[in-house]
Chains A and B, each alone.
Chain A
Amino acid sequence: MASLDRVKVLVLGDSGVGKSSLVHLLCQNQVLGNPSWTVGCSVDVRVHDYKEGTPVEKTYYIELWDVGGSVGSASSVKSTRAVFYNSINGIILVHDLTNKKSSQNLYRWSSEALNKDLVPTGVLVTNGEYDQEQFAENQIPLLVIGTKLDQIHETKRHEVLTRTAFLAEDFNAEEINLDCTNPRYLAAGSSNAVKLSRFFDKVIEKRYSLRDSNQIPGFPDRKRFWGGTLKGLHYD
């Protein structure tokens, strides 16, 4: 059983947004009872069925690396964190819906993680600002998750969700908004669960090059590809 293939997904975000609760919910399907500060990095494993319900279904281990810290840390702390950014196959960017700064910091977080490969000495030379070109040529799948949805008042919900939609567009990623203390947001068959398993499938494909070689990567291809997958999933 331990010989299943694996992929590595980073979970990044400011302190206090709920990364540890999210990872716990994703991996153990239970709410984390006593969240405390993450020092260094905490890892958890999720067993994921790739292409569930189709004949090519296969089980993979998804390692979720929850790296703690703040994006404004000293460069020595950043160099220490950089050791976890090796060979990542996907990134989940977590932000707090009640805290705008945490959403803005996601740009810096993604730069920190993605720039790791570009500079061999491990020292960050950019000042962390948003670079459109960098995201255009980025091959690593991204997913944006907004937490603490229950703390947003009904009246402000539309405005907040519009803002996060723009954010997800900037990263060329899907977005999920939920409350980590309530498992029903990720219940099987809900649209959030679909997006999540789509993201993990994408990560697995990129890693193991499971696409047919005659398909041209691009937008029309994605539509055709996902259209086929959706038929296989069950809806209650």
Chain B
Amino acid sequence: MSFLIDSSIMITSQILFFGFGWLFFMRQLFKDYEVRQYVVQVIFSVTFAFSCTMFELIIFEILGVLNSSSRYFHWKLNLCVILLILVFLVPFYIGYFIVSNIRLLHKQRLLFSCLLWLTFMYFFWKLGDPFPILSPKHGILSIEQLISRVGVIGVTLMALLSGFGAVNCPYTYMSYFLRNVTDVDILALERRLLQTMDMIISKKKRMAMTRRTMFQKGEVHNKPSGFWGMIKSITTSAPGSENLNLIQQEVDALEELSRQLFLETADLHATKATINIVFDRVGKTDPVTRGIEITVNYLGIQFDVKFWSQHISFILVGIIIVTSIRGLLITLTKFFYAISSSKSSNVIVLLLAQIMGMYFVSSVLLIRMSMPLEYRTIITEVLGELQFNFYHRWFDVIFLVSALSSILFLYLAHKQAPEKHMTP
């Protein structure tokens, strides 16, 4: 009986998470695009729902809610489903949508997406060989095999992102402060941009006029396309055509310049906006710190350690979970806006769903470290005999590597464009 009640609680919460994922997808990610394939939205929401359920189960573990056997059952069930989604469903659909974007392979979409999926599975399996993840007792198609590989990818991803974020964040803020952008700079850059556009326009006017006179005289302008086209154009070319090609080359160079100027202007505007935001924020602390300050100051020194440890660990784990989910969603949204277009939006959302799922699975692996001993048992039980220490060491290694390479990368990028950072 209690099992039924527990299951219904779990299912209700899963439906809630599903609804939240659906809304997030519609309102945030896809607010400028039209959802033509509802499959994508469903998959994204389902991945989100099951990922959040895992965290919910951890919290229930700490709080001692629900029957322990039903908790164990739901853990196993949840894990199976999420592994199925991450290893079978999402990669297949990613392959399917990539293939449907390519016009040539349109007719045999299913065949090619199956091929892609098989390639993915092959590399996925090969990934686990060099790592000492498992004890050799287990069979080949067990949960432990799958989750160990998913865990490796997810942990690598998390470490890469954390390393890069740890280095990039202070760097960007520092550079914003040091640059001290004024309105005059922005106006000067905009004027240069408009001057470049004027130059492009005058050249294009010449081209348009030349083309018109050529058309009226009956000549035809052949753009040199392909190898034979270029050879033909050397031997027989009307003077009008030659002229056009020359001007076209100049125009191409100018257009490249205008693009760069546009990007620099956008960068300056962004800097100006950020400085405003950062300066407004200085002096305020976030609510958690203030809450702790108040508690410490006003509630006295009498501290029942045993009583508080459960609650503090719950709060800590909860905070870690909530901030990492929120941070991930914000980063995903920014990333999505930056690189998606109407053609590739489906593929990118599915990739993001895949990353999100793997990230959450590996968060569960890593969060085991932050939990007190008595709560770790369930994770150890469910996930089997994984070498958890390996994951922590792997995370540290990748974090260091990522941070160092980000430093190197930013240093090189900084050297390439020193004039941007010099104040006049």
Instruction: Flag A62-97 by CB within 8 Å of B: 1 or 0 each.
Output: 010000001111111101100110000000000010
Alpha-carbon distance between A17 and B269 when the two chains are bound, in angstroms: 27
Alpha-carbon distance between A199 and B238 when the two chains are bound, in angstroms: 35
Residues from chain B with Cβ under 8 Å of A83 in the complex: 190, 193-194, 265
B255: interface (CB < 8 Å): yes
B343: interface (CB < 8 Å): yes
Contact between chains at A79 and B342 (CB < 8 Å): no
A28: interface (CB < 8 Å): yes
B250: interface (CB < 8 Å): no
Alpha-carbon distance between A52 and B212 when the two chains are bound, in angstroms: 15
Contact between chains at A80 and B265 (CB < 8 Å): yes
User: Which of chain A's residues 29-84 have a Cβ closer than 8 Å to chain B?
Assistant: 37, 39-47, 61, 63, 70-77, 79-80, 83-84
Contact between chains at B205 and A45 (CB < 8 Å): yes
Contact between chains at A63 and B201 (CB < 8 Å): yes
Residues from chain B with Cβ under 8 Å of A210 in the complex: none
Alpha-carbon distance between A77 and B263 when the two chains are bound, in angstroms: 9
Stretch binding the partner chain, chosen from B9-17, B27-35, B93-101: B27-35
Contact between chains at B34 and A100 (CB < 8 Å): yes
Task: Tell whether A76 pairs with B33 under 8 Å between CB atoms, given A27-B208, A40-B263.
Answer: no
Residues from chain A with Cβ under 8 Å of B193 in the complex: 40, 83
B341: interface (CB < 8 Å): yes
A164: interface (CB < 8 Å): no
Contact between chains at B208 and A72 (CB < 8 Å): no
The contact of B208 among A16, A47, A74, by CB within 8 Å, is: A47
The contact of A80 among B34, B197, B205, B266, by CB within 8 Å, is: B266
Contact between chains at B200 and A43 (CB < 8 Å): yes
- How many A-B residue pairs lie within 8 Å, measured between CB atoms? 89
Residues from chain B with Cβ under 8 Å of A42 in the complex: 255
B145: interface (CB < 8 Å): no
B132 CB, min distance to chain A CBs, angstroms: 45
A182 CB, min distance to chain B CBs, angstroms: 16
Contact between chains at A77 and B32 (CB < 8 Å): no
A2: interface (CB < 8 Å): yes
B202: interface (CB < 8 Å): yes
Alpha-carbon distance between A40 and B189 when the two chains are bound, in angstroms: 14
Alpha-carbon distance between A41 and B193 when the two chains are bound, in angstroms: 10
Contact between chains at A99 and B259 (CB < 8 Å): no
Instruction: Flag B249-275 by CB within 8 Å of A: 1 or 0 each.
Output: 000000100110111011001101100
A112: interface (CB < 8 Å): no
Contact between chains at B205 and A61 (CB < 8 Å): yes
B376: interface (CB < 8 Å): no
Contact between chains at B270 and A74 (CB < 8 Å): yes
A188 CB, min distance to chain B CBs, angstroms: 12
A175: interface (CB < 8 Å): no
Contact between chains at A16 and B190 (CB < 8 Å): no
User: Which of chain A's residues 190-215 have a Cβ closer than 8 Å to chain B?
Assistant: none
Residues from chain B with Cβ under 8 Å of A28 in the complex: 211
Task: Tell whether A14 pairs with B200 under 8 Å between CB atoms, given A47-B209, A76-B270, A83-B190.
Answer: no
A157: interface (CB < 8 Å): no
Contact between chains at B266 and A77 (CB < 8 Å): yes
State how many residues of chain B have any CB contact under 8 Å with chain A: 35
Residue of A nearest to B30 (CB): A101
The contact of B209 among A2, A39, A73, A76, by CB within 8 Å, is: A2
B69 CB, min distance to chain A CBs, angstroms: 49
Task: Tell whether A72 pairs with B255 under 8 Å between CB atoms, given A41-B197, A43-B201, A47-B212.
Answer: no
Alpha-carbon distance between A214 and B265 when the two chains are bound, in angstroms: 46
Alpha-carbon distance between A42 and B194 when the two chains are bound, in angstroms: 12
Alpha-carbon distance between A157 and B221 when the two chains are bound, in angstroms: 37
B206: interface (CB < 8 Å): yes
Contact between chains at A16 and B273 (CB < 8 Å): no
B337: interface (CB < 8 Å): yes
The contact of B197 among A43, A99, A101, by CB within 8 Å, is: A43
Task: Tell whether A46 pairs with B208 under 8 Å between CB atoms, given A37-B341, A76-B270, A76-B272.
Answer: yes
Alpha-carbon distance between A39 and B212 when the two chains are bound, in angstroms: 28
Task: Tell whether A41 pairs with B262 under 8 Å between CB atoms, given A16-B341, A76-B270.
Answer: yes
Contact between chains at A70 and B32 (CB < 8 Å): yes
Instruction: Flag A4-29 by CB within 8 Å of B: 1 or 0 each.
Output: 10100000001111000000000110
Alpha-carbon distance between A15 and B272 when the two chains are bound, in angstroms: 26
B76: interface (CB < 8 Å): no
A1: interface (CB < 8 Å): yes
Residues from chain A with Cβ under 8 Å of B341 in the complex: 15-16, 37
B349 CB, min distance to chain A CBs, angstroms: 15
Contact between chains at A72 and B32 (CB < 8 Å): yes
The contact of A45 among B194, B208, B262, B343, by CB within 8 Å, is: B208
B204: interface (CB < 8 Å): yes
Residues from chain A with Cβ under 8 Å of B201 in the complex: 43, 45, 63
User: Which of chain B's residues 69-88 have a Cβ closer than 8 Å to chain A?
Assistant: none
Residues from chain B with Cβ under 8 Å of A41 in the complex: 197, 258, 262
The contact of B259 among A40, A44, A96, by CB within 8 Å, is: A40
B230 CB, min distance to chain A CBs, angstroms: 16
Residues from chain B with Cβ under 8 Å of A46 in the complex: 208
Task: Tell whether A71 pairs with B34 under 8 Å between CB atoms, given A45-B205, A77-B266.
Answer: no
A105: interface (CB < 8 Å): yes
Residues from chain B with Cβ under 8 Å of A76 in the complex: 266, 269-270, 272-273
Residues of A within 8 A of B (CB): 1-2, 4, 6, 14-17, 27-28, 37, 39-47, 61, 63, 70-77, 79-80, 83-84, 96, 99-102, 105
Report, nearest first, the 9 A-B pairs whose CB atoms are least far apart: A40-B262, A76-B269, A16-B342, A76-B270, A45-B204, A80-B266, A101-B34, A39-B259, A83-B190
14 contacts between A and B (CB under 8 A): A1-B209, A2-B202, A4-B205, A16-B341, A40-B261, A40-B263, A70-B32, A75-B273, A77-B266, A77-B270, A80-B262, A83-B193, A84-B197, A101-B34
Q: Given A74-B273, A76-B266, A77-B269, 11 other A-B contacts at CB below 8 A?
A: A1-B206, A1-B209, A2-B205, A14-B32, A14-B342, A39-B262, A40-B263, A44-B204, A80-B266, A83-B194, A101-B32
